[in-house]
């Protein structure tokens, strides 16, 4: 009977091991490392990775020893003397996160994975995922939402924007674009909104957030369909502001950041006529880079076309450049090219 029970336990452990994710296996190793070593590892991770790993550390804290052995094998025998899994894991994880990140950021992570704790500071928003931020601010006044969005990394801000109700997205972008110096009372109001998540504390000084360029960068991270809907709503609120945001979004000169492969894809999808006009007013380095991404024959044809056109109005050149950028964004949305600088993940 005892042998049967052992076999059942081993079978269950094997099954548990098979279900463990890679992150959970890493978490087991983290729990067995010394606190200083674990903290050094966490220092080299991104906020999102810290959140995921910290959460996984809680999820594996009560695993049975055989499952742990299957993950760590002989490594477990070397490291388990430094710490233990299951006993005191809560205090251990808190100390590791604090050593790695400091009290404020660690408090935010612990808030996400151990809801009984708190954190403080607007900067902690950078350590929350987009969905949590969106859920926290969804019912707030658009001005409060704009303040939060303006404080975020542009990619996270775009994710938050998409998760908000469509009816208010254009108004949020409008308010982000018209933000400038935010006075202490506004920051205090924002802090009060976030008190449900963590205790707020920030220095009482005017803060430079938002603005047209910030709104444009957020919009650069949205898909074209979303952008068109938001811009349509924004046009009804303030047409001049909409134009200003569009003018500060991904522009022709940003193509300088693209590699030859992706530029080549773009060049094969644009009209030679538009390209020759667009290059009339471009920086010489950009012109050389774009022509260098083409075949020698195609590049020579474009150069001849540019020289044949003679002087042109600036507005014509700008319109041609916008047409090419529109093609680039369409290809980017379709996954056919990487538009460097617009927010694609690079590996």
d(CA 170, CA 128): 23
Best mean pLDDT range from 85-94, 106-115, 175-184: 175-184
Is residue 12 domain-shared with residue 110, that is, in the same domain? yes
How big is the CA angle at 216 (ends 47 and 191), to the nearest 5 degrees? Answer: 50
Joined tokens for residue 279? 């290059």
pLDDT of 224 reads 64
Helix (H) or strand (E) holding 208: strand 207-208
Q: What is the pLDDT of residues 321-334, one digit of tens each?
A: 888 888 887 787 77
Better pLDDT: 119 or 274? 274
Contact assessment for residue 286 and residue 256, using Cβ atoms and an 8 Å cutoff: yes
Domain-terminating residue out of 118, 151, 180? 118
Domain-terminating residue out of 247, 279, 304? 247
Best mean pLDDT range from 95-104, 109-118, 314-323: 314-323
Ramachandran region, residue 178 (left: φ > 0; alpha: ψ -120 to 50; beta: rest): alpha
Is residue 161 domain-shared with residue 196, that is, in the same domain? yes
Q: What is the pLDDT of residues 197-255, one digit of tens each?
A: 454 333 333 445 568 878 887 887 777 678 888 989 999 988 889 888 887 777 788 88
**Looking at the 3D structure of the chain, how many domains does it have?**
3
In a domain, 258, yes or no: yes
Is residue 239 domain-shared with residue 261, that is, in the same domain? no
Which residues are paired to 208 by β-bridges? 181
In a domain, 105, yes or no: yes
- Put simply, whether the predicted model's pTM sits higher than 0.95 gets the answer no
Give the domain range for residue 22. Answer: 2-118
Is residue 103 domain-shared with residue 171, that is, in the same domain? no
Residue 269: pLDDT over 80: yes
With bands split at pLDDT 50, 70 and 90, how would you rate the model's confidence at 74? very low
Is residue 142 domain-shared with residue 176, that is, in the same domain? yes
Domain-terminating residue out of 96, 118, 140? 118
Is residue 225 domain-shared with residue 192, that is, in the same domain? yes
Is residue 287 domain-shared with residue 213, that is, in the same domain? no
Can you give 72-126 as a three-state secondary structure string?
HCHHHHHHCCCCCCCCCHHHHHHHHHHHHHCHHHHHHHHHHHCCCCCCCCHHHHH
Is residue 11 domain-shared with residue 53, that is, in the same domain? yes
Measured over the CA atoms of residue 5, residue 11, residue 16 and residue 17, the dihedral's sign is: positive
Is residue 143 domain-shared with residue 109, that is, in the same domain? no
Residue 339: pLDDT over 70: yes
Measured over the CA atoms of residue 291, residue 294, residue 296 and residue 297, the dihedral's sign is: negative
In a domain, 310, yes or no: yes
Helix (H) or strand (E) holding 182: strand 181-182
The enclosing domain of 182 has a CATH number of 1.10.220.30
Is residue 148 domain-shared with residue 82, that is, in the same domain? no
pLDDT of 84 reads 47
In a domain, 347, yes or no: no
Is residue 97 domain-shared with residue 155, that is, in the same domain? no
Q: What is the pLDDT of residues 2-59, one digit of tens each?
A: 444 666 667 777 777 778 777 888 888 788 777 878 888 888 777 778 888 888 888 8
């Amino acid at each position: 009977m005892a042998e049967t029970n052992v076999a059942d336990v081993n079978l269950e452990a094997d099954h548990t091991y098979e279900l463990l994710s890679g992150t959970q296996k890493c978490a087991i190793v983290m729990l067995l490392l010394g606190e200083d070593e674990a903290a050094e590892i966490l220092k080299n991770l991104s906020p999102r990775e810290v959140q995921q790993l910290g959460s996984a550390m809680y999820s594996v804290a009560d695993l049975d020893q055989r499952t742990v052995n299957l993950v760590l094998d002989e490594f477990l025998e070397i490291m388990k003397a430094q710490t233990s899994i299951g006993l005191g894991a809560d205090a251990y994880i808190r100390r590791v996160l604090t050593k790695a990140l400091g009290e404020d950021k660690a408090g935010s992570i612990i808030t996400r994975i151990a809801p009984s704790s708190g954190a403080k500071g607007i900067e902690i928003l950078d350590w929350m995922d987009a969905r949590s931020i969106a859920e926290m601010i969804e019912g707030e006044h658009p001005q409060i939402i704009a303040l939060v969005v303006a404080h975020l990394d542009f990619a996270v801000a775009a994710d938050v924007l998409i998760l908000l109700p469509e009816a208010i997205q254009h108004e949020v972008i409008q308010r982000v674009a018209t933000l400038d110096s935010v006075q202490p009372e506004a920051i205090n109001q924002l802090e009060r909104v976030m008190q449900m998540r963590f205790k707020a504390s920030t220095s009482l000084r005017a803060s430079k957030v938002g603005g047209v360029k910030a709104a444009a960068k957020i919009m650069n991270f949205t898909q074209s369909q979303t952008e068109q809907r938001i811009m349509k709503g924004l046009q009804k609120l303030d047409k001049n502001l909409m134009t200003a945001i569009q003018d500060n979004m991904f522009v022709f000169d940003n193509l300088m950041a693209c590699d030859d492969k992706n530029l080549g894809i773009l060049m094969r999808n644009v009209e030679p006529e538009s390209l020759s006009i667009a290059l009339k007013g471009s920086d010489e380095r950009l012109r050389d880079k774009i022509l260098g991404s083409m075949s020698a024959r195609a590049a020579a044809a474009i150069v001849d076309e540019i020289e044949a056109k003679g002087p042109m109005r600036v507005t014509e050149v700008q319109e041609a450049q916008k047409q090419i950028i529109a093609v680039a964004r369409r290809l980017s949305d379709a996954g056919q090219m990487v538009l460097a600088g617009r927010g694609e993940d690079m590996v």
